Structure 1
Amino acid sequence: MTEKSPDDRPLHQAACHCGTVRFTLRLADGLRTARRCNCSYCSMRGAVAVSADLNDIHVTQGQEALALYQFNTGEAKHYFCAKCGIYTFHQRRSNHHQYGVNVACIEGMSPFDFAEVPVSEGRSHPKDRADGASITAGWLRYEANPLAPGI
């Protein structure tokens, strides 16, 4: 279920796979922020993330089940459900005022809803580059098979 906020941004319901962790969120800029990253962790995780400001995510159930993973500089805080293991959201290293939220956790959304998703160059993080520039490493594309069942 999606509700409207006073600033017209919808309130989205979200949860991990097993439903232990549930949260609500408002997206910072709708789905325009969808992206992936090719750093060592994100490459293995494989999620499409969208942006939400820190004060726009509220865990409504299962706060105690959220586990934290940090690596390398320890700046980014990656949260996942300790029961089912699903990545829910992370506080970004590149912008400490935002979370990246796993699109697959948001009710009614799927990473396959995007025909194309930019992939950020995370192996060379903007904070590690002299120019501080964010680089797009490439694009992940999805095209549905018109012959697949259920389409």
Structure 2
Amino acid sequence: MADKPTHQGACACGAVAYEVDTDLEGLIECNCSHCYPKGFVLAFVAPDAFRLKKDGPQTEYTFNTHKIRHLFCDTCGVQAFALGETADGSKMVAVNVRTLTDIEPFSWTAQRVDGRSF
């Protein structure tokens, strides 16, 4: 993905680390029962734009339709990303923008989405 910048990300303890190609456009904040309490800001990318660099032990959590695999670090509990499908069945990775380590906090803008009503 040469047309989009590559960003580095990790959980709080560094056991899980990744890089992702994204321009940080189209970010969302969702108010569903999972995203809102955790304060997620999400960037959705194709699997080929995401590369796992450190695959520390993670636990998987699914809910509702079980189409998204929420993975969180067993050591620090941070969810850096999730794996799933879009509404049309395409594979995607949902990156927690708050785990990007090379951007200035709050340097992005996100659209609020009413996931609670889905």
Shorter chain as normaliser: what TM range? 0.7 to 0.9
Q: Identify the match of residue 92 of structure 2 among 98, 102, 107.
A: 98
Counterpart contact for 2:61–2:69, Cα < 8 Å: yes
Higher relative contact order (CA 8 A, sep 6+): 2
How many residues were matched structurally? 116
Task: Report the Cα offset of residue 109 of structure 1.
Answer: 2.3
Q: Partner residue of 1:108?
A: 102
Name which of 43, 46, 71 aligns with 2:63. Answer: 71
Of 30, 42, 48, which aligns to 1:55?
Answer: 48
In structure 2, the gaps of 5 or more residues are: none
Equivalent residue in structure 1 for 2:75, among 42, 63, 83: 83
How much does 1:8 deviate? Answer: 2.8
Q: Which deviates more, 101-110 or 89-98?
A: 89-98
Q: Which of these two proteins has the greater Rg computed from alpha carbons?
A: 1
Percent identity (aligned): 30
CA contact (8 A) 2:80 2:96 kept: yes
Q: Which runs of 5+ in 1 are unaligned?
A: 126-151
RMSD between aligned residues: 1.9
Q: TM-score, normalised by structure 2?
A: 0.84
Instruction: Identify, as 1 or 2, the structure richer in strand.
Output: 2
Q: Say if 1:103 and 1:111, in contact at 8 Å, map to a contact too.
A: no
